[in-house]
Amino acid sequence: MGIRTRITDLLGIEHPIVQGGMMWVGTAEMAAAVSNAGGLGIITALTQPSPDALRAEIERCRELTDKPFGVNLTILPSINPPPYADYRKAIIDSGIRIVETAGYKPQEHVDDFKAHGIIVLHKCTAVRHALSAERMGVDAISIDGFECAGHPGEDDIPGLILIPAAADKIKVPMLASGGFGDGRGLVAALALGADGINMGTRFCATKEAPIHDDIKRAMVDNDERGTDLIFRSYRNTARVAKNSVSAEVIAAEREGKPFEAIAHLVKGARGKEGLDRGDPDHGIWTAGMVQGLIHDIPTCHELIDRIMGEAESIITKRLAAMMPGALTS
């Protein structure tokens, strides 16, 4: 049967499933595995230590897949920001046709990407931000609900409300993000008005994800309660896997301690060490509530095939059976 949507048409992909940009995880191997399975794989630009390293990673991905893939550029406010313009130039010079942007004041980057004919997907956590991005000229929105891993924003609006609220106002194609991991979620997203789904945590628990097997097994063992919200007191909320470090951070925040008091606990390099070593308690690592729906560690191909099979079965059998004669009338 297959499911064709505005997202599959826009991106030139077989299935309406996108792998979101993920720090430390969005490598050439990860992106190529998703793209080869019929979705859209995405390399995370800032995972690479320099713009030249990103150029090399993009070329490596091209050696691994002949299917469309994209690059994520996330702009975060920082005292010592990375050279975003140089990373942007590396993306443009490499001939990338699809970019996922996210974060703080993306206008300059969106304008440059669009001037070079690049399709821009922008990730937002609020309808007002999605409308602003649409006015900027992005080609598609990824709307990220409260269930998501990483930064859910400060409004705490779950996908069941956020997705249709965005669909009511957004005219460009839209991906639903946050809490998706199976065919039920895909069908629900389509019913709520989205044109596809964006998955992060679920793709981390696949054979190709470049993280230690013990971290993947921790995701399988965790349930939907296995996350913590940190940085709430700093108005920079992040959803991470629940562990001893996240508990220490929350305790410090409750005591009113400044960010400087916990900075050593939440360093990205420390989190990466934990992902590489397979120690779920070594540092902060990103994971969403969807852990409660993760029960195995398949290949990306097996996962996407399963999601599509489940979705098609729900649409053609379960839902169709609730409307006798609907398919023949």
Considering the domain architecture, whether residues 219 and 167 belong to the same structural domain is answered as no
pLDDT number for residue 328: 53
Average pLDDT over residues 251-267: 95
265 in a structural domain: yes
194 in a structural domain: yes
Considering the domain architecture, whether residues 126 and 25 belong to the same structural domain is answered as yes
Share of the chain above pLDDT 90, in %: 94
Considering the domain architecture, whether residues 138 and 87 belong to the same structural domain is answered as yes
Q: Compute how many other C-beta atoms are within 10 angstroms of the C-beta atom of residue 209.
A: 26
275 in a structural domain: yes
Name the average pLDDT for the chain: 96
Considering the domain architecture, whether residues 24 and 173 belong to the same structural domain is answered as yes
Considering the domain architecture, whether residues 125 and 238 belong to the same structural domain is answered as no
328 in a structural domain: no
Considering the domain architecture, whether residues 130 and 279 belong to the same structural domain is answered as no
Q: Among 240, 155, 241, 149, which residue's Cα sits nearest to residue 198?
A: 149
Average pLDDT over residues 65-83: 92
308 in a structural domain: yes
Q: Are 126 and 157 in contact (CB under 8 A)?
A: yes
Domain count, the chain: 2
Considering the domain architecture, whether residues 285 and 303 belong to the same structural domain is answered as no
The answer on pLDDT for 324 being more than 90 is no
Here the tokens at position 116 are 């070079």
326 in a structural domain: no
CA pair distance 131, 152, nearest whole angstrom: 17
111 in a structural domain: yes
327 in a structural domain: no
For position 64, which CATH number holds? 3.20.20.70
Which residue's structure tokens are 């190709």?
208
CA pair distance 175, 188, nearest whole angstrom: 12
The answer on pLDDT for 329 being more than 60 is no
Considering the domain architecture, whether residues 274 and 170 belong to the same structural domain is answered as no
Which residue's structure tokens are 């297959």?
2
Here the tokens at position 55 are 């150029």
Considering the domain architecture, whether residues 218 and 177 belong to the same structural domain is answered as no
pLDDT number for residue 327: 54
pLDDT number for residue 196: 98
- The continuous run of DSSP H or E covering 322 comes out as none
Strands 98-103 and 69-75: what pairing? Answer: parallel
pTM equals 0.96
The answer on pLDDT for 170 being more than 80 is yes
Considering the domain architecture, whether residues 194 and 263 belong to the same structural domain is answered as no
The answer on pLDDT for 11 being more than 80 is yes
Average pLDDT over residues 255-277: 94
Give the domain range for residue 223. Answer: 213-289
The answer on pLDDT for 282 being more than 60 is yes
Considering the domain architecture, whether residues 144 and 76 belong to the same structural domain is answered as yes
Considering the domain architecture, whether residues 159 and 217 belong to the same structural domain is answered as no
